[in-house]
Amino acid sequence: MRSWSVILALFIATGIFAQETPIYLDVTAPVEERIEDALSRMTVEEKVAMCHAQSKFSSAGVPRLGIPENWMTDGPHGIRPEVFWNEWDQAGWTNDSCVAFPALTCLAATWNPDMAYLYGKSIGEEARYRNKNVLLGPGVNIYRTPLNGRNFEYMGEDPYLASKMVVPYVQGVQSNGVAACVKHFALNNQETNRHTVNVHVDDRALYEIYLPAFRAAVQEGNAWAIMGAYNLYKNQHACHNRYLLNDILRKEWNYNGVVISDWGGAYDTYESAYNGLDMEFGTGTDGLTDARTSEYDAYHLARPYLKLIKNGDIPIENLDNKVRNILRLVFRTTMSANRPYGTFGSPEHFDAARKIAQEGIVLLKNEENILPIGLDGKKRIAVIGENAIRMMTVGGGSSSLKAKHEILPLDGIKAAVGNKAEVTFARGYVGKISVGYNGVDTGQAIEDNREKDTLIAEACRIAEMSDIVIFVGGLNKEIHQDCEGLDRYDFQLPYAQNELLDALSKVNENIVVVLVSGNAVEMPWVDNVKSIMQAWYCGSEAGNAIADILFGKVNPSGKLPFSFARKLDDYGAHALDAYPGDRDVYYKEGIFVGYRWLEKNKTKPLFPFGHGLSYTIFKYGKPVFSSRELSSSDSIVVSVPIRNTGGMKGKETVQLYIGDKKSTLPRPLKELKAFRKIELQPGEEKNVDFKISVADLMFFDDVRHAWTYETGKFVVYIGASSEDIKYSTEITLK
């Protein structure tokens, strides 16, 4: 039997008889009061400890006050497996295999905010179940060059589309009491020299192109966390950048959430202290990139910061402001009384992943209506290409996952076909094969040492004997492709895929190309194939979703979130030799990014922004305008009748663009200002309503540093893509 002295010691150790008065227990008390109460009870050392990492993915709480630790997890496509305290490799858990959701390029291609909310809610439930209170995502950096290795994690080239998709994602995540950490703020548009490149961009481009999605996430989505970027802007690293974090984020946008560094993104103690950074995380344990000790107190916002505060070089109020933001995060997440429990790896989440993938897959070309593939009379189907059998959930950088399952394209096709046809596979090409990433092994044995000519010959032999060829190629998650850390080498398909497609087209005219990638690629074979489908990285249900589209179980409805140019120099960054830079990179194209640049230079894209075909036909009727004149105090309602005149249920995304006919500053020919996705049964008609206000006509005046507008005539364009314009008319701003 224990002595009373031992029991008393236990009570004291656990705080039961401690002198410390507990922090607010009344969960109905205003959060700001609870924050100030907690802050008043903390020591300087406890406050500083909350400002930096204590492990790879956690930061300290204050146990004696009942303030929990903060636990981060990589997204934005799924919940990262558990790793060791101080290592990147997984910890060997057997119950941390997640649902892999489609990459964010695929989500953006749905052009459906409802899908964005479903995505955010589902991944937020997975994070909550694993007791993470910060999801490191989504990413909303703009698609400036197709060589950026991290484009697959972002939402395309248009700031309006990215803005409308990020807000419901954030809201869905945070409905679970998990903070969405929107990244990478800002101007992270390349991986080459990402830690050292200093971005030069004019204020118009900054405010009109590169900031709107972040602003929407903050002001409309009420994002609770923001992650800084690795690059520099105005010669300061973005993770402690006075202009980005203090002037814009805090002062202009009134942000009251927490700012988190990217891992290893903090470089200076004074700048970290004064320029808006709240929490510092790192890849190594010295606060930078190389692990030398397990001393997390060596971080910039750790012991060096504490020393400056105790010496009086930095005022305590500087520290208190950071801790207020961190405590606000804690009260919004882990200490919220209304926080749900979450679910993990559920059938509902796999269903959500499949549904998002189905809506995001884009049908780029479909000659002779070769798709959907009918199985009546189809005896032999050839599936060719390594990407039909290669896992894509492992690799790519911090978004790498340990998925509960991943349906490969070949398996999805075979399951859909069943015994109705013969499916034969040929490798066709061999890419670089990695066995795993951060200790997550794919478990695949797909090494193949055969020569290129042997592989092509085998593929052609099988293709020649088949009724239809489904080529599954594209990029993968290896470095210098779609992968964090390094950009692509060039615009071409790797591993001699162009040569393979050229050979296949000579032995079979019925070729369907399924591109698995997060980036546009050059297509010298575009005229030699009948159909092209952009299938992205679709996560756990990739194979099923691809098969659903190929065989017509689902009518494709995805639209491109970025332009597919014909050649690399058609993109502004490359035409102007403004990528990748060395120490400095100059965004010479300014506001003319993506379709804005192509239209300015009268360059026809291979496939335009907003493009995507369907298996049915949508007829656009003549829009009805409530007025053709607009003032600053009213709005114009536009009603567009859309009819499904085909024989299959389908979804169409109606797009509205606006162009300024005459302005004092250069402006794009047109800019996306509204869109809406609707579903129609065969023969059904619906009206799609849009509202145009003066805000849709504004531009950023970098001289006045303000959003402004000019009176005059504007053109309203309504169409199915940036090029497929069905109707245009003028309105007047009085």
Pairing of strands 584-586, 198-200: parallel
DSSP code of residue 418: T
Report cis status (omega within 30 of 0) of the bond before 459: no
Instruction: Give one DSSP letter per residue of 195-258, joined into a string.
Output: TT-EEE--HHHIIIIISHHHHHHHHTS--SEEEE-SSEETTEEGGG-IIIIIIIIIIIT---SE
Q: Is 621 exposed, middle or buried (0-12, 13-18, 19+ CB in 10 A)?
A: middle
Which helix (H) or strand (E) segment holds residue 125: the answer is helix 113-129
> Coil, helix or strand for 33?
helix
Distance separating the N- and C-terminal Cα atoms of the chain: 89
In degrees, to the nearest 5, what angle opens at C-alpha 687 toward C-alphas 686 and 693?
A: 155
The packing angle between helices 497-505 and 452-464, to 10°, is 30
CA distance 733 to 661: 11
Tokens 């040569």 sit at which residue? 499
Is the CB of residue 652 less than 8 Å from the CB of residue 614?
yes
The tokens for 581 are: 């830079």
Determine contact, residues 416/547, Cβ cutoff 8 Å: yes
Amino acid identity of residue 127, one-letter, is A
| Cα–Cα distance measured from residue 533 to residue 78, given in angstroms and rounded to the nearest whole number | 24
Distance, in Å, from the CA atom of 209 to the CA atom of 589, rounded to the nearest integer, reads 11
List 74, 158, 262, 660, catalytic entry: 262
Assign 260 to helix, strand or coil. strand
Length of the chain: 734
State how beta strands 650-660 and 671-680 pair.
antiparallel
The DSSP H or E segment spanning 557 is none
List the structure tokens of 398: 């911090």
DSSP 335: T
How far, in Å, are 73, 123, 170, 647 from residue 175 at the CA level? 17, 11, 9, 39
Beta strand pairing status for 618-620 and 635-644? antiparallel
Report the run of H or E that residue 642 belongs to, with start and end: strand 635-644
59: helix, strand or coil: strand
Question: Could you check whether the bond before residue 409 is cis, i.e. omega within 30 degrees of 0?
Answer: no
d(CA 436, CA 511): 32
Q: List the structure tokens of 53.
A: 């990492």
- Using DSSP's 3-state secondary structure scheme, residue 710 falls into coil
- Note whether 558 and 612 are within 8 A (CB): yes
Distance between CA atoms of residues 521 and 626, nearest Å? 42
Active site residue 262: yes
What are the φ/ψ torsions at residue 387 (nearest 5 degrees)? -65, -10
| Amino acid type, 241 | N
Task: For residue 454, count other CB atoms closer than 10 A to its CB.
Answer: 12
Cα–Cα dist 574/554, whole Å? 38
| Residue 314: C-alpha distances to residues 239, 304, 305, 713 (Å) | 19, 11, 8, 54
Q: What is the DSSP string of 491-504?
A: SS-STTHHHHHHHH
The residues assigned a catalytic role are: 262
